[in-house]
Structures are given as structure tokens and as C-alpha cells.
Structure 1
């Protein structure tokens, strides 16, 4: 018999934490407070909660600490995001895609199927795809995926070991008060609300190199090279320099606005360069997208 593979069905996995619950349902409701109890009851009724063997279990099954379950994330009436990704490269180990603005890379919050990962899984019929890095939902451009679990760790190490060069383009207000090229370093931590980052006192944990590519009256086109990979790093650093990236709804101020597909964030993941850890071959990928003024 073929062993159950939750990845093939794109199921999420949870091991039940310690607690006083009587049933599996009680534990899941308390553990995932954002999901209504009626949604869990419905999932159990439709066989959308599975045991470690891949068989559907009952909502009334007794709770057991450490019990391994697989469940399917669902968003009722998930909103369609009217943008289209492009696949730039596919081989045995890697997939490279151009992500449009507004499309999340991975499931989370209000998005499951309307994500780059799930779209690529369906298009390529490969449930083992895993993103090797992330870019913001508002950012467009290159995303690199591992297509093969056996070689995944070799490619994953490229990022923490800083053996991959990432270059972005951004359009923002002119920064005539600064001399370019420049290096901006600071300490970034999560602020309020939780998804916004801010600069604080202390040893730097983020570094960005910036230069000017083109000048167009009041706005300039910048090339940004993040040496570190902190959340929203480029957006925070540009705001700190005095020129928040054009159409940024988070920085320098948090704006209460809905997605406007005519006014995307002017930030683009332009290129990825690295020596392939399996072959030693120099590899470089370039986006086919472009930021308009």
C-alpha cells in the first residue's frame, strides 16, 4: 500500500498540544481560535480532517496529546485575484516564476487557492513545490521554488549563507540629499500592528545597498540589493531614507485602502544570481516584468 502523503493533497499538519480537552474537536477549536466551531464541525462531516494514516476521523474522537492530524485550509467564498503569474523556468530541481503584484506567495489569512504556490502546484501537477524565499504580496517579480524534496536543503542553504544575490528595482521620490551609491543598515523589529516593521535602537540586523538607475523629474528609479532578508526590509529602509516606495500602503504611514490594481507598489524583484549547489554552474534569472513610471 502506498503510504499516505499529505503533501500530495496539500493538507496542513498539526500535532495536538497538551491541554484539558475531551475531544479532538474541542482541542482544534481552542487551538485555532480564528476558525468558528461550526466550520470545524463541517470539515469533520465532509472528511476534511484526517488521522496520520490518511483516514477521516470523527469530531467526537477522544483528545490525545501529540495526536498527529492533517486538515485542509479553506476560505469560504475566497476572492479571486485578477492577475496572472508567469512560469519562467522549470527543471528537475527548481521552478522560477514571475509573481504579479497583489498575489500572495503562500496560503494565509484570506487566501488559499489564490496564491502563487497553489496556482503553480495545479499548473505543474507537483504537490512538492516549496518556495525557497518569499516576497511581499504587494511586491512583484521573481520567486524561486524547490521542486524536489531530495535536493531542497542544498538550495535552501543559499539564502541563510548569503550565497545568492538578489536585486530589486523601486520607484520613489528623489533623494537628492543623499550621495549614491549608499549602504543603509538598521535594526528592524515588529511593531504595531504586528505586520509592520520599524527601525529601533540597537545593533543592526538588516542591510541594503542602493544606487540610482534613472531619474524622472520628481521620481527616481532605484536598484536595491538586500544583503539580509528581513520582513519589509526594502520598504522600511526607503521610508527611513526619506522616500517611501510609490503606492506603499504600509510605509511610511499605514493607509486604510483596498487593493487598487491600477496603483501597485512600485517594487519589483528584478534578478536572482547564484552558483548552483549541485553543479557549480553560475545561474541568473531575470524578471520579464517592468515598473512603469
Structure 2
């Protein structure tokens, strides 16, 4: 059995695929734990925290249950379960496991499914679904895909080997290939490389381009021209948030059904008939542990 580092040890067990969250208590003066929790998590009612504590679902690093009157100690780590106040709406698309070995799980993610718990999504996320299916609390994504994007994504099964695979992405020695459907770009010589400087946009969930040294790079090629759109092959050399979506939009060929670029549309319920036409088609790399060449392809189509 692998040895887990202190950062991976949880005094609360995984519950229905959800691993406990944790928080290092910051600098500050608080009379007790409930006062801090009610102030720090402004969206969670104090009564909810009291109810969680009564169930023993808020503990310290040694697994000792915390009570509302427990002392606040800066630097202490507390564990708790993230819970939603409302019932989640099921996402009617299923992931497919493409490959598993002792260290990795490679998955074909559907559109609309978030990678990890965030906002209104908890159980309807790829990570929690996989933890339920495999029963593995240590499962962790090595890289990310947007909720709107489908395709190949890799998870780590073992904390002790996770860094070796993460370093492949940090060193940019992973080959990633995407497909996208977008309008035809006239006058371009394919393939070509598009570079720009990407920064956080005016809205927290968007990115934008600005003048300056480029920090993002995408090779753009054409697979085929259709009557009403073109199928593009995209090779991102960098991995900026929304990079492919922003790059194609900046070229005047926004990806079909993109609700963010070039203009962010008002939020509303997902339209399952109009998925973003972006697919992480293929990923390949030299395995740092086995030395084998790994290549995984999505079975989905746009």
C-alpha cells in the first residue's frame, strides 16, 4: 500500500465519492470556531455549521470533532464536508474510462460535466463520479478541461507518482491535440502559429488579450472544410485558461456554441442540444516511470 504524505491524510473518510475539504485557519482574532466559520463562509448559514458539527463532520487534523465553542487557533487545519443546500440536477452524459494502470486513469469526459466540485456542482462532477466508481479517495486530476469541453483527461491514482506526471505538463512535453468546429478563416496559410498575451478578463470567468510579450501559443490547422463550418486541428503549446476559445475568437472564428467568446451570453440552464464544439481529441507522452510511449484518443465526435 502506498505511503501517503501528511497533506494527503484526511481524518474524515470519503463519503459518497466526496473527500473532505480542509482549511488552514488564517491570522485573526475570533472568540470561537462558529464565529469564524459563519464569517469566513458567508454563503453558509450559521445553523448549517452547527448542524454539521453536531454530526461530527467538522474536525481538526487529528480527527477530533469541533464544537461551536471550540477555540480558534491560527495555523490549525480543520476538515469538513462540502455540501450543497439544493439537490443537484443530474447531467445526462456519461464519462468513459479509456485506460487504467497502477498510476493513471485516463477518461473520456463528456460535454457539460465539470472536472471538480465548484459552485453548484458537487456529485455531478467527473472527479466525484470517478471516486464513487473506483473507491479511490486519492484520485486527482493531473490537468483540467473546461466544463464545456469534452475529451481526454488524465487522473493520478497515487500521490507518490503524481509529481512525475504533473512535471510533463509543466515542462510542456505533453502533446495535446484538439478539434473544433468554427467558421472558415479565409486568406490564411495552414498550418500557422497564433501567439498572444492572455490576462484575466473584466469578468472573473473570462480571459482577454492585451499588448505585450505573448504567453500563449497555439498551432492551428485545417482537417476539412464543410458547407457551413470548418473542422480545425489545434495544438496548444501552452495551457492558458480558455486559450483555444479565446484564440479562435480573436481570429474572428469563434468556436460554435461558445457562450463566452466573443461575447459572454446571459447565464441560464444548459442547452444540451448545443454543446461547445471543442474536443480534446488526443494526448500522448513518454511515460516517465515505464518509459513507454502513451497515446490516448477520445471516442467522441463533434
* TM bucket normalised to smaller: over 0.9
Instruction: Name the residue aligned to 1:251.
Output: 261
2:149 is aligned, of 122, 139, 151, to 139
Which residue of the partner structure matches residue 297 of structure 2?
Answer: 286
Report the counterpart of residue 267 of structure 1 in structure 2: 278
Deviations 1:111-156 (A, max 9, x none): 1111000000110111110000000000000110001111111111
Ranges in structure 1 where 5+ consecutive residues have no aligned partner: none
Matched residue count: 289
Q: Is the 8 A contact 1:182 1:210 kept in 2?
A: yes
The alpha-carbon deviation at position 55 of structure 1 amounts to: 2.8
RMSD between aligned residues: 1.4
Which residue of 2 is the match for residue 96 of structure 1? 106
Matched, 1:26 2:35: yes
Who is 1:51 aligned against?
A: 60
Provide closer, same or farther for how the CA distance between residues 110 and 97 of structure 1 changes in structure 2, counting only shifts above 3 A. Answer: same
Matched, 1:174 2:184: yes
The CA deviation at 1:8 is 4.6
- Structure 2 residue matching 1:178: 3-state secondary structure: coil
- Report the CA distance between 1:6 and its aligned residue: 4.6
User: Aligned with 1:213: secondary structure?
Assistant: strand
Aligned partner (choices 18, 21, 25) of residue 12 of structure 1: 21
Paired residue for 2:140?
A: 130
Cα pair 2:12 2:63 within 8 Å, conserved: no
Using the TM superposition, give the Cα deviation of residue 7 of structure 1 relative to its aligned residue in structure 2, in angstroms: 7.7
C-alpha separation in 1, matches of 2:237 and 2:188:
20
Residue ranges of structure 2 left out of the alignment (5+ in a row): 1-5
1:11–1:50: structure 2 CA closer, same or farther, 3 Å change rule? same
SS state of the match for residue 165, structure 2?
Answer: helix
Residues of 2 paired with 1:229 and 1:6: CA distance?
A: 34
- Whether the 8 Å CA contact 1:81–1:102 is kept in 2: the answer is yes
Contact 1:8–1:128 (Cα < 8 Å) also in 2: no
Match of 1:80? Answer: 90
Give 1:5 deviation, angstroms: 2.9
TM-score by length of 1: 0.95
